[in-house]
A = this chain, B = another copy of it.
Amino acid sequence: MRPSGRSLDELRAIEIEPGPMRHAEGSCLIRIGGTHVLCSASVEDKPPPFLKNTGQGWVTAEYGMLPRATHSRNRREAAQGKQSGRTQEIQRLIGRSLRAGVDRQALGERQIVVDCDVLQADGGTRCASITGGWVALRLAVNKLLKAGVLTTDPVMDNVVAVSCGLYAGQPVLDLDYAEDSVAGVDGNFVMTGRGRMIEVQMSSEGSTFSRAEMEDLLGLAEAGCQALAAAQNKAVE
């Protein structure tokens, strides 16, 4: 029934290639089906100004999409002179999500900037960015631990994300573009490796949903997040 032939609770193929970017402290190329995101984590020695002399660090994220990552070419945001509201919303979500998995006191007065650049889009780019962004972050922190810059691990748990939605009236896991573009209800779920929730965003476009439908989507998301966390762990070994 799904355009891809997947069953309702089936994720797309997950591939996470660690370390593709030579200069970054941590990086990965994550492929969730046809959605490909290149993620890097850059460690900066100073925290943002508002955290000076607090002993705490910060994790922030930026998100971008190549102009031809999509079916038809989008205008380049740098050429337009501003980031769209959608871009800003997504990068705020990525940063907030990753911070939920980090002990900022243990990180100390430094900042990690996670860049997520979508090379190819087929739905779920923000979720892939969070899942891949965590891998880049984990690898960068590993490097700091190995070098003795950090002695306590500030990464408290995995952070993973997946989308679910109502497609043709059915709750389905991990929407691809063909599904996402027609789904009336669509949610993004960010969770920890242990299954705690970090962020739940369910929204409907021209439609509404019941509490029972919400429960169905949550159940799918919990299972999907477990599989994604396992893939993360394999990639960072």
Residues in A lying within 8 Å of B, measured CB to CB: 20-24, 27, 34, 38, 40, 42, 44, 62, 64, 66-73, 76-83, 85-89, 91-92, 96, 99-100, 104, 113, 115, 117, 119-120, 122, 187, 192, 196-211, 214, 218
For the residues of A in contact with B, the DSSP-based class is mixed
A197 adjacent to B218 (CB under 8 Å): no
Residues of B within 8 A of A204 (CB): 100, 197-199
Contact B79 A85 (CB under 8 A): no
Q: Which residues of B contact A42 (CB under 8 A)?
A: 67-68, 72-73
- 18 CB-based A-B contacts, threshold 8 Å: A21-B120, A23-B68, A23-B69, A23-B72, A23-B120, A40-B68, A44-B73, A64-B66, A64-B76, A64-B78, A78-B87, A83-B85, A96-B205, A197-B204, A197-B211, A199-B201, A199-B203, A200-B203
CB atoms of A200 and B214 under 8 A apart: yes
Give Cα distance in the complex from A72 to B115, angstroms: 13
Tell me whether A192 and B214 are in contact (CB under 8 A). no
Given contacts A23-B72, A197-B209, A197-B211, 15 further A-B contacts (CB under 8 A): A21-B68, A21-B69, A22-B120, A22-B122, A23-B70, A40-B66, A40-B68, A42-B67, A42-B68, A82-B82, A99-B205, A100-B204, A104-B206, A197-B210, A199-B202
The answer to whether A208 and B203 touch (CB under 8 A), given A40-B68, A68-B42, A78-B82, is no
